[in-house]
Chains A and B, each alone.
Chain A
Amino acid sequence: MSDDVKKSCGCGDCGCGTAAGRLPQSAPRRGFMVKLGAGLLGVGGLLTAIPIVGYIVGPATKRFSNVWVELGSVALFPAGQTRFATFLNPIRQPTDGDSAKTACWVRCIDTAKYQVFAINCAHLGCPVRWFAQSKLFMCPCHGGVYYQDGSRAAGPPPRGLFEYKWKVEGGKLLIDAGRLPGLEESV
């Protein structure tokens, strides 16, 4: 291919610019068009990226605050005992199905004195189980054990069980719940 064909055609090797009989564009104009195209695409791309990225990282930027949820009448939680309780997570989507259900352990130390523990082990979140006979919570995953007051007894957990804030209103026990408990913050 001759040099002047290469020069006159944008694609460099097919010679289409001359074959189609079009007038060769001048070099500066072609450079301008490429820059304009790249600029337009860049701006358009950035604009389009805003909603896409926002959509994907949305959950990370959205703040959820906990809500007071009812666990039931205080009569369900007799003094000196630790009982299993469930509630529907206040922060939920229509598509959550059963996964919006949440469990917790309610310890009634004495009348109107409670401790409400998250079901999630403070190690890696597995569901801990209460054993009333030995007064221990045990975790099925890696053998974490907690005492009845939620403090760490043995195994890998770095701390005691997560506790919910609670209050009693009109004979009902309420807890401040929502987010999946985690190390970064206590519930």
Chain B
Amino acid sequence: MAEPMKIRAQLSGDLVAIKVLIGHIMETGQRKDPRTGQLIPAHFIKQLSVGLNGKTVIAAQWGGAISKDPFLGLKVKGAKAGDKVSVHWEDSKGEKSSAEATVG
């Protein structure tokens, strides 16, 4: 829930390089607990979106194949210093997280 999320948004010209590092367990639901033999319940990010000044620039549907603590990188044209980058995700348990950073 209160998982850490790190965002960097670095401008060169009018191109902003956005990097997002998300702390998330990303449990696939396919693994068994070696001690109990029971499946470990799935828990992964399903929806993720990145916005620039409130306008969605990428909307992703993720699944259990994405690694633990995922890293996402993208470049967006037409940005300027001071713009707001926002990242939002929602996972398979309905937990949500949002974070913001300023383009610089």
A binds B: no
List the interface of chain A (C-beta within 8 A of B): none
